[in-house]
Structure 1
Amino acid sequence: MSSSRPRTRTRPRTVLAMSGETRDAILLPAALERLARVADVQPALLVTDFGADDPAQRAALRDTEALFTGWGCPPLDAAALSAMPRLRTVVHAAGSVKHHITQEVWDRGITVSTAATANALPVAEYTVAAILFANKHVLGSARVYRETRTRVNLLAEFPGIGNYHRTVGLVGASRIGRRVAELLRPFDLRVLVHDPYLDEERAQALGAELTPLDALVAQSDVVSIHAPELPQTRHLFDARRLALMRDGATLVNTARGSLVDTDALVEELVSGRIDAVLDHTEPEVLPADSPLYDLPNVLLTPHIAGSQGGELHRLADAAVDELERYAHGLPFAHAVDPRTLHQQA
């Protein structure tokens, strides 16, 4: 929004654009009731194809001022926007908007908000749990205990066990990376951070030390990836960089699988030199014969770090909050800036 001065409240005409599965998952009756108080919306009308030959849909899109979008929203290209001459804003009840927001949206001066900040919270929580468990050698100690079924001499088996004064390296000061840094503050950990768009002052504000990437990898007991998926970040962790990791260190990836060279990672993990916690891989579903499923030093999860189950309702609440701000003529709390969108996931 160009001005922070509130206007008289209106109920903007709003259309839901997402998959049916998404609507059913994120918009519980209470959220729909609140949405109906904030906006003039038809909850039963769901757009999954902007070009559909449906008179009711065409009429709704012709008059809509706001789109309330989620996973499964089709791209807002020129053809789609031509059917929505009064569209002024898009409120996305999920994370990345790159799947449906096109240059034509920005060219028309349409504002965009995202619930990416809300979606970052469970990813950060998962990551912090992974970091603390990694330094406690939960995978290794559980394996030894399961195999021996007797008292485990932890100091002998895992002499460096524990989180006190361990070093954690965060690759990327994204929403998630920043939240991880915040959540790590109560612990006696040294936190390093690498981000090409971060300066010393902002790193210190996060409680972290700005560190060149290779130095971060070489010094960290746990390396956690929070960089966006961009052409320049593909295989950011290749064989050379993975080889820089300390023996016994753990790689945590809750970002995108493409940031890590899977073949190089498998080679390191099969050797047993490092551990890994992987919520994303490339490909996202690994082949059935991938050793990553069975390696004792790997925790492999099926893309669960992001909002799931009850956490999805936080996304709806965040999006309705934004639409309510729009209805009051206030600027979005979580507006998408097209000038920095290329830096984001």
Structure 2
Amino acid sequence: MRNQPALWPSPTWHLKKFQPDDPILYFSPDVLQATARRFEAGFDGLVTYAVKANDQAAVLDNLVGAGLGAFDVASLSEMEKVRQAKADAVLHYHNPVRSVAEIAGAVGHGIASWSVDCPCELDKLADVPRHCTEIAVRLRMPVPGAAYDFGEKFGADPDQAVALMKKARAMGFDVSLTFHPGTQCADPQAWAVYIVEAADVARRAGVTLKRLNVGGGFAAHRRGAAPDLEAIFDRIASETNRAFGIARPALVCEPGRAMVAESFTLALRVKAVRGDAVFLNDGVYGSLTELRDIGAPDRVSVMRPDGGALEGAMAQKVVFGPTCDSIDRLPDRMALPEGVAEGDYVMIRAMGAYSSSISTGFNGYGRQEIVTVASL
């Protein structure tokens, strides 16, 4: 990954001038900071950024500049990157499966919140300092509305959560609850169902929650109309008030995708066109990896090398990546102008989440340059 410090006016200006043949991720600090301020203003609680979505130094630095002081981390490497951006950042270690060595390293970073979803993982935390430290029991339920369900891997069923909360309290920890409705979730009802169950679990455990972490999962604008984040914020606040009453806990959220996606536009060059198939200079082993799981976006445009927009009738194209692997293709066709040709640039909006963090270097491809722009 190469970071280019210069600030260019726009992706179109940069592409026209330099004609890059490698994938480019265009980054707008202004868009990222505006999104951070939107979460801070709209969500009634503590906003923590899920670093896994994009751990680039420029992203972390700009979030700190926008006022964020808390981060959701899943590894020692992410802790170190956050500490470089903000030495006194509050860290929530909410990857609920950890080795003994990882726990020892995390203690040195001063973790404020540890999530657990089974007794054996709670037992591993027996020697963690209690002062200013919470255990956030991770709850799971079969709630629809997301692109894929995190509950298949993490989380305790309600009865298990009750037992874990009682045990954590007996061990001397502050006790919280956390959940994750699943990625790319735009339905406020998903959060409402979890909040109601969280209140019931807390009552059954006889525990007054320190905090309720409503997770991430906030959808980015990938297709159609933009998700109504404010509707989700409002529903979370009202449902928490209704479900908990005077025992209402402080709220926490941990957006990743919705925080960072809109601040990046991905530019890929067309290497070849063969019938209804388009070959791009990056694919599912690189910046398009996640599109295999959540489908292709429709916020796509095509630019000619001279900077002009390619318009006209659209056609559903098979999209291949550049590697020698025949499965390096998007599972769904992508709507592109019929006249798309070799040398054109395919511009995909809202690609700041996971496009760089899970790219590989397979076959010598998959490395994107990051270029900072004034506007997208």
TM-score (ref. length: structure 1): 0.33
The structure carrying a bigger strand percent of its residues is 2
TM-score (ref. length: structure 2): 0.31
